[in-house]
Amino acid sequence: MSQAEFVVVANRLPVDRVADAEGDDAWRRSPGGLVTALEPVMRKADGAWVGWAGRPGLELEPFEFDGMHLVPVPLSADEVQDYYEGFSNDTIWPLYHDVIAAPRFKRQWWDAYVAVNQRFADAAAKAAADNAIVWVQDYQLQLVPRMLRQARPDLTIGYFHHIPFPAYGLYSQLPWRRQVLEGLLGADVIGFQRVADAGNFARAVRRQLRYETKASGIAVPDGEGGTRTALAKAFPISIDADSYIELAQRPEIQARAAEIRESLGNPSKILLGVDRLDYTKGIRHRMKAFGELLQDGRVSVDDVTLVQVASPSRERVDAYVQLRDEIELTVGRINGDYDTMGHTAIRYLHQAYPREEMVALYLAADVMLVTALRDGMNLVAKEYVASRVDNRGVLVLSEFAGAADELGSAILVNPHDIDGLKDAIMRAIEMPGSEQGRRMRALRRRVREHDVEDWSQDFLDALAVFHRGATAVTA
Ligand code: G6P
């Protein structure tokens, strides 16, 4: 493969390994929004995507898929444990989500994180043409920008952080806090979801490294006695809104939505939660509030059902194993207490569904509950809004999700305040159609005006200022 002018580096490749009809291994495009966002850029710039194929021990040569050059980075079983499950998802993930679960600091995990980040950086350096643009994604790869800059000072390097960046008081717990900041500062542009995340990062840089910051600029020593400017600012990510709108307009998907309502016994209101099964999502808080509403007699299972889709995630990390037990115990208790032969309180689905089915569910749901305790953005909130082509439905949205900065016409809640959450759910259930319409139109306008293509364009425009190469990359 020739070298690419544009390289994306992410923990995961944009494809999943699946069995085909004959039972052989095949590749399928993964459903994530990032692929959708970057695919047009990748095609135009003849780009490459460097990432892990999602299975331990898989050693593969670079290959072409769906018009993209994919460069697999292998991880051994031990590395999956130490770098992915350990440092990424049992140290950084809980620490950056306000220690909702206790982060574990293990030196062996850090060593694996350094080694694996170096492998990603090496693969990206090899894939990139002279003066190429490299865009590194997310918290699993925070050291890659600096490693890349050291190997390839000709490159223009962007980094986007999809999850929150915590307040300094929490961040400073990290034993490797300086190395991580220095790693990120290898990038020319460091993008965050919220203005507050960029602010937390700049403060950590000032306190730990004593670098000067001014507006979004950070003066980073260039190793030759001078400084260069790195840009740290908010670029809130979005979804491919048009594809949700298109799906929501299909008659067969609307029919499926009606069928879903029917199969739940045609309750007058359906509440919906859709999350990876993760302790940051506030699934327990949501269920506690709903359980109490049933107990108080403010709602009845004859009229109201909560559908909770909790897709399996990081199933070998202890905190996730525990969370699953707690959620399933709670669902069992609430259903045991309140179900009737014909109606269920909570329809719980520990499964992942294709996009078509999700859009049907969004159309079937009168109220969408996004009660995250901390969330970088929460794209489910945006997917729900985009899908409501009928301008009906109510979004209840945690102020601790990045989406709250843009979706002010939702009913905003503090999920820790159970009484407040109960009242918000009641307000959503009882909201008149005219008010639903007014709020939903405002929400939809925002999501349509700022879609994922816009996001990547804004980021790449900011990065273009640093570019020394001849060709511009446009989304
Ligand atoms: C979050 C992270 C992503 C990650 C995704 C799924 O959205 O920001 O980087 O890919 O969760 O988690 P997983 O561990 O399965 O990749």
Residue 475 placed within a domain:
no
* Cα 52 to middle of ligand 1, angstroms: 12
Residue 474 placed within a domain:
no
Residue 352 pLDDT greater than 60, yes or no: yes
Whether residue 147 sits in one domain with residue 262: no
Mean pLDDT of the chain, nearest integer: 96
Its sign, for the CA torsion 143, 147, 149, 155, is: negative
Which has more pLDDT, 36 or 115?
115
Per-residue confidence (pLDDT) for residue 425, from 0 to 100:
99
* Cα 424 to middle of ligand 1, angstroms: 29
Catalytic residue among 97, 161, 162, 285: 162
What number is the average pLDDT over the span 208-224? 96
For a pocket test of ligand 1, which of 8, 9, 12, 165 has the largest count of ligand atoms closer than 8 A to its C-beta? 12
Residue 422 placed within a domain:
yes
The H or E element that residue 256 is part of is: helix 251-263
Q: What percent of the chain has pLDDT over 90?
A: 91
Q: Domain count for the chain, please give it.
A: 2
| Closest CA to ligand 1's atom 12 | 313
Catalytic residue among 375, 450, 451, 454: 375
Beta-bridged to residue 135, according to DSSP, are 8, 158
What number is the average pLDDT over the span 408-424? 99
Whether residue 58 sits in one domain with residue 83: yes
Whether residue 254 sits in one domain with residue 133: no
For the stretch 165-200, what's the b/e string if a residue is b when 16 or more beta carbons lie within 10 angstroms of its beta carbon? bbebebbeebebbebbbbbbbbbbbbbbbbeebbbb
Tokens of 227: 């400084």
Q: How many CA atoms are closer than 13 Å to the CA of 74, on its beta-carbon side?
A: 8
Q: What percent of the chain has pLDDT over 70?
A: 98
Give ∠ CA 379-383-385 in degrees, rounded to 5. 120
Is 240 an active-site residue?
Answer: no
* CA distance linking residue 340 with residue 406, whole number of Å: 40
| Closest CA to ligand 1's atom 9 | 138
Its sign, for the CA torsion 75, 78, 81, 82, is: negative
* Cα 66 to middle of ligand 1, angstroms: 22
The conformation of residue 391, written as its DSSP 8-state character, comes to: S
Residue 471 placed within a domain:
no
Nearest atom within ligand 1 for CA of residue 313: 15
What number is the average pLDDT over the span 199-214? 98
Confidence label for 18 from pLDDT (cuts 50, 70 and 90): confident
Whether residue 378 sits in one domain with residue 330: yes
Whether residue 199 sits in one domain with residue 270: no
Its sign, for the CA torsion 167, 170, 171, 177, is: positive
| DSSP symbols for 174-239 | -TTHHHHHHHHTTSSEEEESSHHHHHHHHHHHHHHH---EETTEEEEE-SSSSEEEEEEEE-----
* CA distance linking residue 6 with residue 465, whole number of Å: 15
Residue 355 pLDDT greater than 60, yes or no: yes
Whether residue 176 sits in one domain with residue 257: no
| DSSP symbols for 322-361 | HHHHHHHHHHHHHHHHH--SS--SEEEE-S---HHHHHHH
Whether residue 279 sits in one domain with residue 207: no
* CA distance linking residue 26 with residue 22, whole number of Å: 10
Structural domain including 146 reads: 4-237+453-464
Which has more pLDDT, 85 or 471?
85
Nearest atom within ligand 1 for CA of residue 137: 9
For a pocket test of ligand 1, which of 8, 11, 93, 277 has the largest count of ligand atoms closer than 8 A to its C-beta? 11
Whether residue 375 sits in one domain with residue 293: yes
Residue 330 placed within a domain:
yes
* Cα 70 to middle of ligand 1, angstroms: 19
Whether residue 337 sits in one domain with residue 400: yes
Tokens of 307: 């559908």
Whether residue 357 sits in one domain with residue 246: yes
Q: What Rg value do the Cα atoms of the chain yield, rounded?
A: 23
What pTM did the predictor assign? 0.97
Q: Which of 59-73, 296-310, 359-373, 421-435 has the lowest mean pLDDT?
A: 59-73
Confidence label for 470 from pLDDT (cuts 50, 70 and 90): low
Q: How many CA atoms are closer than 13 Å to the CA of 273, on its beta-carbon side?
A: 29
Is 188 an active-site residue?
Answer: no
Nearest atom within ligand 1 for CA of residue 84: 14
Q: Do residues 183 and 218 make contact, with C-beta atoms less than 8 angstroms apart?
A: no
Which has more pLDDT, 90 or 16?
90
Tokens of 10: 């992410």
Nearest atom within ligand 1 for CA of residue 89: 14
Pocket of ligand 1 from Cβ distances under 6 Å: 12, 138, 162-163, 313-314
* CA distance linking residue 343 with residue 445, whole number of Å: 36
Residue 95 placed within a domain:
yes
Q: Do residues 298 and 426 make contact, with C-beta atoms less than 8 angstroms apart?
A: yes
Beta-bridged to residue 128, according to DSSP, are 4
Whether residue 359 sits in one domain with residue 296: yes
251-271 pLDDT, tens per residue?
Answer: 999 999 999 999 999 999 999
Nearest to 140 by CA among 50, 201, 218: 50
Nearest atom within ligand 1 for CA of residue 138: 9
Confidence label for 471 from pLDDT (cuts 50, 70 and 90): low
* Cα 177 to middle of ligand 1, angstroms: 22
CATH number, residue 113:
3.40.50.2000
Residue 459 placed within a domain:
yes
Whether residue 148 sits in one domain with residue 55: yes
Residue 99 pLDDT greater than 80, yes or no: yes
Residue 33 placed within a domain:
yes
